[in-house]
Amino acid sequence: MRRRPTTQDISWFLDLKRNDQLDLNPPYQRRSVWTNKDRRYFLDTIFRGYPCPAIFLHKRMTEQGRSIYDVVDGKQRLETILMFTDDAISIDPSHTDSRLAGKKWKTLGDAERREFWNYVLPVEQLDFEEGETSAVEDSFDRLNRNSRKLEPQELRHARFDGWFISFVEEETANKFWSDIGVVTRARFKRMKDAQFVAELFLVLIEKKISGFDQNYLDYAHAKYDDPDDEGIVLDTEQVKEDLESVKDFLGQAEQRNGCVRLAAATVGTFYSLWSLIVLHRAAIGEPIQFAEKYSKFIDLSKRLLASAKSGQVELELDAQEIILKDSALAYGQASAGAHTDLGPRTTRLNCLLKALALE
């Protein structure tokens, strides 16, 4: 690998993008995790003429001889530049320069536009031998290895201070979550409890399930850092109201037969229970009756899975269990292995809905 340090002004990057020669998302790149506050701060850096860290690019050639520049490091900065020139974000309204405060690209004066275009960024071009794919990925990893000893949620705790992470951490401290077994001493260490609660709250906010993905959690913490940001449609009061309703349902079910705390012993099981209540509340009836049906279904699933694993003769089942058999076995099988992936989570949710929905 060879490094070639140089400088380029913003107009050079805009030309690359215009000519489809700038790739912000090579396979090793991560999701964007900057908040609007971060982006506005970087715009402030540009307009004040302050220096910024280098952009790392990997130049590769297509079969037709066209140059493509993959962004190895500096994606967030370049993305901010492109978003600003596309009128997707504005300069901070509290900016001290009245020529700039609250302005979008289309409302900037000619002098301010030229100032922006001419801002110079340090650039490091990385050259690799043909076929050195692993070296490119290793370079990306080394450039992004800061604070790797910290757990992902600990990094988010240090990185974000807005609405979503505050909402998650304040709720995690609520006694309710330890009472039902979601927050435990083991999960409390390294903030695993807050990370799991964040996953649960995303189901509540986005009204869908997703596979476990640290990059997506980074993205979501950034996206919902400030609900008042441009492009964010989020009623935080409604989210809190929905949360209290789900907690009330879980509390009543737990009081009935302890089924919620049993589910919380395994994050996959509780995630599916939570998702069913959040997404299909109208279909599953009242919490007391639901708790009875849910406990029987989970017990049947465990018995069927144990029987299948041990090779025992087929279990004796009553009429209702025979009806639920296929769903219960599929649920149990989807609870093993990579159970936090989207596929198994979808299977478990569908099995629960099929088995527990009201007639």
Quick one: average pLDDT of 128-136?
64
Check residue 147 and give its pLDDT: 44
Residue 345 has pLDDT above 50, yes or no: yes
* pLDDT level of residue 119 (50, 70, 90 thresholds): very high
Vertex 187 angle, CA 185 and 193, to 5°: 120
* pLDDT level of residue 142 (50, 70, 90 thresholds): low
> In this predicted structure, which of 21-25, 64-68, 230-234, 284-288 has the lowest mean pLDDT?
230-234
* Conformation bin of residue 220: beta by default, left when phi > 0, alpha when psi is -120 to 50: alpha
Main-chain dihedrals φ then ψ at residue 273, nearest 5 degrees: -60, -50
* Conformation bin of residue 65: beta by default, left when phi > 0, alpha when psi is -120 to 50: left
CA torsion, ordered 250, 253, 256, 259, to nearest 10 deg: -90
* Conformation bin of residue 73: beta by default, left when phi > 0, alpha when psi is -120 to 50: beta
- When computed from its CA atoms, the radius of gyration of the chain, rounded to whole angstroms, is 26
* pLDDT level of residue 232 (50, 70, 90 thresholds): confident
Condensed to tens digits (0 to 9), the pLDDT of residues 155-203 reads: 888 788 899 999 999 999 999 999 999 999 888 878 999 999 999 999 9
pTM of structure: 0.70
Quick one: average pLDDT of 85-109?
94
Residue 335 has pLDDT above 60, yes or no: yes
Whether 239 contacts 54, CB under 8 Å: no
- CA distances from residue 279 to 7, 169, 352 in whole angstroms, order as listed: 51, 23, 12
Main-chain dihedrals φ then ψ at residue 215, nearest 5 degrees: -65, -40
Main-chain dihedrals φ then ψ at residue 126, nearest 5 degrees: -100, 125
* pLDDT level of residue 288 (50, 70, 90 thresholds): very high
Vertex 310 angle, CA 353 and 350, to 5°: 10
Condensed to tens digits (0 to 9), the pLDDT of residues 242-281 reads: 999 999 999 999 999 999 999 999 999 999 999 999 999 9
Q: What gap in Å lies between CA 310 and CA 318, rounded to an integer?
A: 21
The alpha helices in the chain, defined as continuous H runs, are 10-18, 36-48, 75-85, 110-117, 133-143, 152-159, 163-172, 175-179, 185-188, 192-206, 214-223, 236-257, 259-264, 267-279, 281-284, 287-310, 319-333, 342-356
Q: What gap in Å lies between CA 280 and CA 283, rounded to an integer?
A: 5
Check residue 60 and give its pLDDT: 86
Q: What gap in Å lies between CA 328 and CA 300, rounded to an integer?
A: 6
Check residue 170 and give its pLDDT: 94
Q: What gap in Å lies between CA 278 and CA 226, rounded to an integer?
A: 23
- CA distances from residue 191 to 115, 131, 149, 173, 221 in whole angstroms, order as listed: 44, 40, 14, 11, 15
* Average per-residue pLDDT for the chain: 90
Domain-wise residue ranges, the chain: 2-143, 153-356
Q: What gap in Å lies between CA 178 and CA 193, rounded to an integer?
A: 10
